[in-house]
Structure 1
Amino acid sequence: MINASTVQIDVLRGRQVECREIRRLLAAPAGRALLLHGEPGSGRSTLLAYAHRHGRERRVLAAAGLPDEATLPYAGLQRLLDPVLDGAGALPERQRQVLRRAMAGEGCRDQDLLVLSHAVLGLLAEAAHDGPLLCTMDDLDAGDAPTARLLTLVARRLPHLPVVLLLVTGGDSGADAIPRHRLEPLDAPDSHALLAARCPGPPPPGPVLAGLSALAAGNPQALVDLADSLTPGQWQGAEPLPAAVPADGDLGRAYRALLCRLPGDTRHALLLAALAATAPTHPSRTDHAHVVDPVTLGRALRTVGGTVDTLAPAEAAGLVRLTAAGGAAFPRPLARAMVEATASLAVRRDAHLLLAAALQGTGARLRRALHLAAATDGPAPALATELADAAGDRADRSVAATALARAAELSDDPVLAASRLISAARYAWQAGEPDRARALLHHVADAPSGPTAVLPDGRDNATGASPQEMSSVPAGQGAGGDVVGDRGTAAIRGLTELLRGEMRLRCGPVPAALPTLLAAASTLADVDRESALVALVRAGEAVCYCGDQYRYAEVARRMAALRHDADPPWAELLTTLVAGVAATLRGEHAHGGPLLRRAVVLGGRLTGAAATPTALTGAAVAGLLVAVDATAYRLADRAVERALDRGEVSLLPRALELRAMSEYWLGRHEAATSSCREGLRVARATGQHTSVGAHLGLLAVLAAVRSDRDTSLGHVAELGDAAVPGSRPHALAQWALALLDLAEARYADAADRLAALARPGTGRGQVLVQVMATPHLVEAAAHDGRHARARGALAVFDRWAGSTASPLRRALSARCHALLAPRGSTEAEQHFRAALSLHPTDAATFERARTELLFGRELRRARRPREARDHLHRARQTFILLGAQAWARQSTVELRAAGESVGPPDPHAVRLLTGQQLRIAHLVAAGATNREVARQMFLSTRTIDHHLRNIYHRLGIRSRTELARALG
């Protein structure tokens, strides 16, 4: 049963840990055993082939459990030992008799089982005289139970023999005393690499790899089966991907063989459980288990005269897990899918009808309708309407998408079918399933000919929310997404393009999203004005993400043309937001500020169903732009909660990004990092590649603020192709790198990076990111002596900060002016003291500590060490409390330079140096030239030369290399 084909060898791509374990097993001088277990298709047989290839120095005895021989005691053992049975003559008579009866099919009495195990050990020992042995048994659980039991006894008694025993099974039960290793699903990189290796043409796009990997759930054989079934168009993303792993592939055959070994009533009960199972809907769930309602399952099983205990054999086979409440769960989503896929159409239809009957009168309207629909062929308008209506009652967007897609199939009106497909795609997208949404959009045929009617301003009857908001169902729909009136070709085309544009905005390519969204807004303007508003908001996001700020004026012009005085609050919020952002990007803060503050107020007033994630994130954006950080945080946090409550997973990454940015300005760096990590996880799980880039960029900035160089550079490296020049991720990455440059005294590099984030006067680049980073740009340029560059950037920052009521922004402005004032001047001191008086005492304590550090450094260099020490002590204490160790160390160095001994003792040689000498020594040991040290410490090169000679003399060294060694 060993198949070492090229396909299987490829599976080893993600099995490095297992391969190392097998090599250690084969290299061990004493006898050892190992049990590998995993689901079908996980690469168990391939690992056996790997063991055979790497065990050439050992004599190999190999066999596999065969289902046809499962009722024949010791059939598997006989095939394993057949090559060495001629050595049985050397065994004691008692052992020889018991072994002979077992090999002849006569079985073995329980009291003779230990004797039989010693006989097998003796036979292996005799065979090992010619060299060490490797014994392998594939599919141990598929063969006869006596062989499996005996081999576990033998495996525990191998240490004194030169024998390696490698057992492979599908389940993890039994053999508790044997070392075991579970074959986990492949991770995303290994899955992608395996798929790319199977692609017959150019490398497939990232979304194709991600979609196939999600379908396969990390199962190597599922990946191979999917790859072998794809058309060239599917490989390149031009056609929808399959909805499931092929049932006629090798994996399907393996599951059929596994299911055939189960009793008939167990197979039937397992199919009922698979069809009744529901996937986890909460995005924080990471176990992916599909659970079965115990009441529904119990009713269905009682109808056919069974109980939940009927599933016990399936649980022993690792297919299902019984719960304490009397239900069941499928810990492997792929197992549930294959149980359903391998059943015949007629058997599935009967099971669906049985489940529909079990749900009668339970109030589970949608679930019952879905089972009826699965058992129905051909158009069924009444059932389609029931499905669509029931879908509006669901917060589970994925289930609603399934219902509306099936309703479209059962509809006899092509316009109605197209509308339901669009709604299904919208729900699938909201559920975090972009590939499924694309496939549904692909099936929306060209809009049927017919009159184009103006859609009524309606509301979603199920939620009471404005249906035109794209966090809800499209405009003009009833509770389940049905068309109210004649939408016409324009509405169908516009809503399709709107969804396609939004997915391009979140998943890429973003440059293609802008024309799609603008076209959608134009198409919808006359038939669904409020959906057109949302399209323009998304278009504005695309402009800002790409850095083409000059194009925002067009978005604002179109939005102004659509504005109505009688708009509901959420619509007024969107139009006001776009107008305020446009004015801010033009630098017209006196005009933009009041508009943005109005948007914040409107967002705070939204309640109930009107407080959608879309509206709340818009208000949070406005709050950040007018620097009301605490309010922006509350709005973003509400957006996160609403997205979770409504099951709108696709909106979570953006809401978490805004929450993290608010937390950054509030000085809650650890909380911001946590928000980003959660946003990154959800973005990756839902295929939102552009959101992944934004969160990685923010994480890089947050790590760089703490001077965590390795972590920050790691996040920048992860960005890869997402860091397109001019884009938001690229700007955030440059900001992070500039912060690292600043911490390591590469001031010119830091200033150059930050100055290049945007090009004033052209409307290109990340203007908003550059404004946020201006305090660091000014600090770097001031240290580098390029005050003119710093003043230009500071003027932009001052105009914005002055338009806000934020004490923090004005404190940062004052700090920047202090850095640009003549060193040691009264002007510099006044600005520093103004900054400290403006810094909030209850928030952004990190920035206050940074100001204390810079002011203390200024006072020390002005030969006022006693005053400097007060500020430096406060800065150091704050940094220690915040866990900002790198900045705490800088404060310690400055304190020592100010004449105070602080912190743990230095190595014995270093204690010979003064504080100032110690700082010079550290900079020189880090590779800085004398000129660079002089510039950083505001001293002359001659003074640095003098100090360096004294350092060499005190430490008894002669070179920079010896200095680095002395400092450790």
Structure 2
Amino acid sequence: MRLFGRQEERARVEGVLAEAQAGRGGVLVARGEAGIGKSTLLDYAGAVAEPSGFRVVRAIGMESERQFAYAALHQLCAPLLEHVAALAEPQHDALAIAFGTKAGSPPDRFLVGLAVLNLLAESADERPLLCLIDDAQWLDQASAEVIAFAARRVYAERLALLIAARDSDHGESAPFDGLPALTLGGLGESDARALLAAEIRIPIDDAVRDRVVAEAHGNPLALLELPRNSRPEILASGFGARERPSVARRMEEAFLQRSAALPGETQGLLLVAAAEPTGEVALLFRAASHLGIPRSAAAPAENAGLFRIDSAVRFRHPLVRSAVYAAATPSERRRAHEALAAAGDARIDPDRHAWHRGQAALGPDQDVADELERAGHRSLARGGMAAAAAFLQRAAELTPEPALRTQRATLAAQAKYEAGAADEALTLLALAAQGPLSPFEAARLILFRAHTTFYLAQGNDVPLEFLDAARALTPLEPRMARESFLFALNAAIIIGGDVRGAAEAARAAPRAPEPPRPLDLLLDGLVSIYTEGYTAGVSRLRAALTSFCDEELDRDAVGQTDSDRWLWLANRTALALFDDDLMHDLAVRNVAITRKAGALATLRAALVSHSVALALSGDFTGAEAIVAEAAAIARATGAASLRYGDLILASWRGRTAETTALHRESVRGREEGRGAEVTLAHYALAVLHNATGEFLPALTAAQRAVESDELAVVSLALPELVEAAARSGRLDQARAAADELGVRAQASGTHWARGLAAGAQALIAQDSDAEGHYREAIEQLTGSRAAGHLARTHLVYGEWLRREGRRRDAREQLRTAHDMLTDMSAAGFAERAAKELRATGEHPRARASAPGVVLTEQELHIARLVATGATSREVAATLFLSPRTIEAHLRSIFRKLGITSRRHLKELQL
């Protein structure tokens, strides 16, 4: 295959192929305007790869295929399905459900991605594999996300993915953002002229040639099509108009000029081909026959170079298809779809049959709408939310009966929301709101609109929308009403809204059912604590949290329960009560349930909660590994990172630059300084400044944190406020915070709470009384999981002893604090302890660096998982990588640590 110019582009492609052949997988996303040569570059890659021993598979995005979930992915994977037996059972099942060959619950999108990654890896193990994905801007959403997922983790495979995507302002190829990219520009003038000379055989006047080269801006398709579709006199004088359309528009116009000159029957055949993206020749001619178009009508279009028919129908360029379809009148398009529906087989491809019937319908048609709804439900079963939304939306539009139309519009809106198209979901909700609506349907619509607007923008009106839904549901569906009140209260906490107002409103919630669900107990407890005070709500909240731990259900049969979705709030509430045992148990339970369910978005939040529990227990190493896994999920799913775990780890570890940067990101654009993340950011800054002995800045940050209604962070921030105020000489502030902490400790009754309260009393006590409080604090905290706070209590006790002139006793406490804090890698507090030790005349012992410091974050995470005895396949499934990638990382880990086996990893205690 000959390419004109493109030396840099060819080198990039050849480099990716060479890396893949050497077992270092590669990805390249070619971007550029229509006609710039992306498809030609992919063809070049295939022509280079095949003689080198690569297996080449292809998928092509088609605009009219975007309604069919996993359509493009099936193109890519179909030639490789002989390797599907090698997949782990959950992956095998997920792929089978996605492709519609097996019934089951809709698979998690990223479990399908892991299955595809391993399917490609298995094939690449046999011989190098090149995947070519063209017109990626038109891939169906499910396929695009899965292919992007796999593309981000081909680190150690004999696998290359080359993806071509048209430049767009609409984000169609957004899943591929961040991958290695190559932007194709126009050909240089000499290469443009060489292409013209080689491909255009008709004589062209020099002035015309100059004009074509100038107007094409190096776009190869424009260079070839402009001379073919215009008279020389027009080229010489007419293309210099001041307002020129884009290259894509000019190409479409050129193709339209060429098709408009064809016989009417040929134009009709082209339209049918444009409306049916499968390229199935027999189907095309059956549909044409339905319209009375003979097979011979294809010849003029082939002769004009618009498409060709061999084993499939192939358009010269996707712009031909889009131009032909867009230029047709609505009635012409309906006739084409009607013919395709008549020619298709509803038993073999019911979804495509339903889609064509839907596009052929002129007005409301109950039978067609029913068929579209069935197709929508099939897409939902495969996990194709975007496809389901398209089917259900069209079903709603064609439904004549108003009440049923409302139901279908609501269902379509939910599918749009789940597919990430919240704006479109609101539009469909507006259609559904036209009714007629029963009171229950109207209330449920309000609730769903609240969820959607909360997703789009966490504005202060969102809790009010949830409250409106809750009030409307109260006389109709009490159980749903209670959960809606809990949504309202939680939204107010998250965004920093009127929490007490939401709690007062929730007091009107219907009585809890018998027996009450864990979420019912949680609602009652939170309402009590926000309306009657901390002490009044503690016993109810503890009963609620215990019920979350005691609940036993068969999740193999029913998946996640209503209560499970509130586990992360229960975990936060346990922290607010200083109940470290419940916090740990709920965090572990949440991770186990969400991991089993394969719900990655929920798993990410569960992992962050678990990381916070581990960090507060002093296990910063374990917490960091879990934060790394949550970050890996965020990268895999394209979700925004949750900063909670990062903030706590960075501050307790004394990482000044990281903590301040995270604080800045968390509070940016939130002038009111409210909301859960902002509150936690202020708490983290207080911890950091207390660690480094900068007590006035710590006081400011802690004061901001305790002004929040976020119960958990206020509980954490109160001890920071006491220490910062006491050490800054602001004893009134310190006493007020210590008193509040004491009230909470008495109500909570846990060792953790009592230990923190005793430590606070020590900091504000007269010198003669302080020691007893310090000893009580250490005794209480020793009985808790709060190792970090215990180590800090040894530190402040040692500081007090040194100021009292009791150097010997001070050394004992400071030595204990230094050892504990150093073992935790709490660098800021450890350095403060070391400084105090030096002031007593003792030089702190140097601590050996852990061997894990030479590893990257991902390598350290892998090493720890392998050290537990996990196999490469198990680690790969946990981290959403392939087993070969895990093995490659292990080789690097062994080399860096100077070891030779997995057994040595366990011995190193990383």
Please give the TM-score of this superposition, normalised by the length of structure 1: 0.52
Given residue 709 of structure 1, which amino acid in structure 2 is its aligned partner? T
Which of 249, 256, 267 is the aligned partner of 1:253?
249
Match runs of 1:70-85 below 5 Å: 71-72=199-200
Given residue 776 of structure 2, which amino acid in structure 1 is its aligned partner? H
Q: In structure 2, do the counterparts of structure 1 residues 782 and 533 end up closer, same or farther at CA, with 3 Å as the change threshold?
A: same
Match runs of 1:717-736 below 5 Å: 717-718=664-665, 719-722=667-670, 724-736=672-684
Q: In structure 2, do the counterparts of structure 1 residues 547 and 613 end up closer, same or farther at CA, with 3 Å as the change threshold?
A: farther
**Which residue of structure 1 lines up, in the alignment, with residue 587 of structure 2?**
633
**Which residue of structure 2 lines up, in the alignment, with residue 544 of structure 1?**
493
**Which residue of structure 1 lines up, in the alignment, with residue 386 of structure 2?**
398
Given residue 523 of structure 2, which amino acid in structure 1 is its aligned partner? V
In structure 2, runs of 5+ residues without a counterpart are 1-31, 33-163, 171-180, 226-242, 287-310, 848-910
Q: In structure 2, do the counterparts of structure 1 residues 444 and 753 end up closer, same or farther at CA, with 3 Å as the change threshold?
A: same
Q: In structure 2, do the counterparts of structure 1 residues 593 and 696 end up closer, same or farther at CA, with 3 Å as the change threshold?
A: closer
CA-CA distance at 1:773 after TM superposition: 1.5
Given residue 830 of structure 1, which amino acid in structure 2 is its aligned partner? R
2:548·2:567 contact (CA, 8 Å) conserved in 1? yes
| Deviation sequence 1:443-483 (CA, Å, 0-9, x none) | 334333xxxxxxxxxxxxxxxxxxxxxxxxxxxxxxxxxxx
CA-CA distance at 1:261 after TM superposition: 13
CA-CA distance at 1:554 after TM superposition: 2.6
| Deviation sequence 1:90-120 (CA, Å, 0-9, x none) | xxxxxxxxxxxxxxxxxxxxxxxxxxxxxxx
CA–CA separation in structure 1 for the residues paired with 2:271 and 2:458: 43
CA-CA distance at 1:774 after TM superposition: 1.7
In the alignment, is residue 741 of structure 1 matched against residue 681 of structure 2? no
Match runs of 1:344-743 below 5 Å: 350=336, 360-361=346-347, 366=351, 369-393=354-378, 394=380, 395-448=383-436, 488-545=437-494, 546-559=496-509, 561-565=510-514, 572-585=517-530, 586-587=533-534, 588-601=536-549, 603=551, 605=553, 607-608=555-556, 612=560, 614-626=562-574, 627=579, 628-637=582-591, 640-641=594-595, 644-645=598-599, 658-659=609-610, 661-666=612-617, 667-668=619-620, 669-671=623-625, 673-674=627-628, 677=631, 695-696=642-643, 699-718=646-665, 719-722=667-670, 724-743=672-691
**Which residue of structure 2 lines up, in the alignment, with residue 930 of structure 1?**
none
Match runs of 1:159-174 below 5 Å: none
In structure 1, runs of 5+ residues without a counterpart are 1-17, 19-36, 52-59, 84-133, 146-227, 229-247, 277-296, 307-325, 329-333, 449-487, 687-691, 906-968
Match runs of 1:54-133 below 5 Å: 71-72=199-200
CA-CA distance at 1:747 after TM superposition: 1.7
2:271·2:336 contact (CA, 8 Å) conserved in 1? no
3-state SS in 2 of match to 1:558? coil
CA-CA distance at 1:539 after TM superposition: 1.0
1:65·1:139 contact (CA, 8 Å) conserved in 2? no
Q: In structure 2, do the counterparts of structure 1 residues 360 and 390 end up closer, same or farther at CA, with 3 Å as the change threshold?
A: closer
1:774·1:793 contact (CA, 8 Å) conserved in 2? yes
3-state SS in 1 of match to 2:668? helix
RMSD of the alignment, in Å? 5.3
Q: In structure 2, do the counterparts of structure 1 residues 880 and 590 end up closer, same or farther at CA, with 3 Å as the change threshold?
A: closer
CA–CA separation in structure 2 for the residues paired with 1:359 and 1:655: 46
Q: In structure 2, do the counterparts of structure 1 residues 273 and 596 end up closer, same or farther at CA, with 3 Å as the change threshold?
A: farther
Given residue 725 of structure 1, which amino acid in structure 2 is its aligned partner? G
Match runs of 1:890-929 below 5 Å: 890-902=832-844
CA-CA distance at 1:512 after TM superposition: 0.8
Which of 831, 844, 852 is the aligned partner of 2:776?
831
CA-CA distance at 1:425 after TM superposition: 1.2
Q: In structure 2, do the counterparts of structure 1 residues 676 and 612 end up closer, same or farther at CA, with 3 Å as the change threshold?
A: same
CA-CA distance at 1:396 after TM superposition: 3.3
CA–CA separation in structure 1 for the residues paired with 2:282 and 2:787: 64
| Deviation sequence 1:678-700 (CA, Å, 0-9, x none) | 687699858xxxxx7xx346644
CA-CA distance at 1:874 after TM superposition: 5.1
CA-CA distance at 1:822 after TM superposition: 4.6
2:572·2:712 contact (CA, 8 Å) conserved in 1? no
In the alignment, is residue 783 of structure 1 matched against residue 733 of structure 2? no
CA–CA separation in structure 2 for the residues paired with 1:665 and 1:591: 23
CA–CA separation in structure 2 for the residues paired with 1:614 and 1:249: 54
CA–CA separation in structure 2 for the residues paired with 1:724 and 1:678: 32
2:256·2:324 contact (CA, 8 Å) conserved in 1? no
| Deviation sequence 1:228-251 (CA, Å, 0-9, x none) | 9xxxxxxxxxxxxxxxxxxx9847
- How many residue pairs match? The answer is 604
CA–CA separation in structure 2 for the residues paired with 1:716 and 1:492: 43
Q: In structure 2, do the counterparts of structure 1 residues 598 and 737 end up closer, same or farther at CA, with 3 Å as the change threshold?
A: closer
Q: In structure 2, do the counterparts of structure 1 residues 829 and 728 end up closer, same or farther at CA, with 3 Å as the change threshold?
A: closer
1:633·1:663 contact (CA, 8 Å) conserved in 2? no
CA-CA distance at 1:855 after TM superposition: 4.0
Q: In structure 2, do the counterparts of structure 1 residues 400 and 303 end up closer, same or farther at CA, with 3 Å as the change threshold?
A: closer
3-state SS in 1 of match to 2:513? coil
CA–CA separation in structure 2 for the residues paired with 1:381 and 1:631: 52
1:596·1:625 contact (CA, 8 Å) conserved in 2? no
Which of 850, 853, 878 is the aligned partner of 2:792?
850
| Deviation sequence 1:163-200 (CA, Å, 0-9, x none) | xxxxxxxxxxxxxxxxxxxxxxxxxxxxxxxxxxxxxx
**Which residue of structure 2 lines up, in the alignment, with residue 127 of structure 1?**
none
1:846·1:879 contact (CA, 8 Å) conserved in 2? yes
CA-CA distance at 1:422 after TM superposition: 1.5
**Which residue of structure 1 lines up, in the alignment, with residue 238 of structure 2?**
none
3-state SS in 2 of match to 1:721? coil
CA-CA distance at 1:139 after TM superposition: 1.8
Given residue 501 of structure 1, which amino acid in structure 2 is its aligned partner? A
2:722·2:738 contact (CA, 8 Å) conserved in 1? yes
Match runs of 1:138-287 below 5 Å: 138-140=218-220, 143=223, 250=246, 253=249, 256=252
CA–CA separation in structure 2 for the residues paired with 1:336 and 1:640: 47
Q: In structure 2, do the counterparts of structure 1 residues 795 and 612 end up closer, same or farther at CA, with 3 Å as the change threshold?
A: farther
Q: In structure 2, do the counterparts of structure 1 residues 795 and 564 end up closer, same or farther at CA, with 3 Å as the change threshold?
A: same
| Deviation sequence 1:828-869 (CA, Å, 0-9, x none) | 4413531452243xxx54444434443444444444555555
2:272·2:340 contact (CA, 8 Å) conserved in 1? no
**Which residue of structure 1 lines up, in the alignment, with residue 889 of structure 2?**
none
Which of 17, 35, 39 is the aligned partner of 2:166?
39
2:654·2:829 contact (CA, 8 Å) conserved in 1? yes
CA–CA separation in structure 2 for the residues paired with 1:612 and 1:879: 39
1:582·1:592 contact (CA, 8 Å) conserved in 2? no
CA-CA distance at 1:524 after TM superposition: 2.4
Structure showing greater relative contact order (alpha-carbon pairs closer than 8 Å, 6 or more residues apart): 2
CA–CA separation in structure 1 for the residues paired with 2:616 and 2:352: 46
1:421·1:440 contact (CA, 8 Å) conserved in 2? yes
CA–CA separation in structure 2 for the residues paired with 1:839 and 1:848: 9
Given residue 793 of structure 1, which amino acid in structure 2 is its aligned partner? A
In the alignment, is residue 886 of structure 1 matched against residue 837 of structure 2? no
Q: Larger C-alpha radius of gyration, 1 or 2?
A: 1
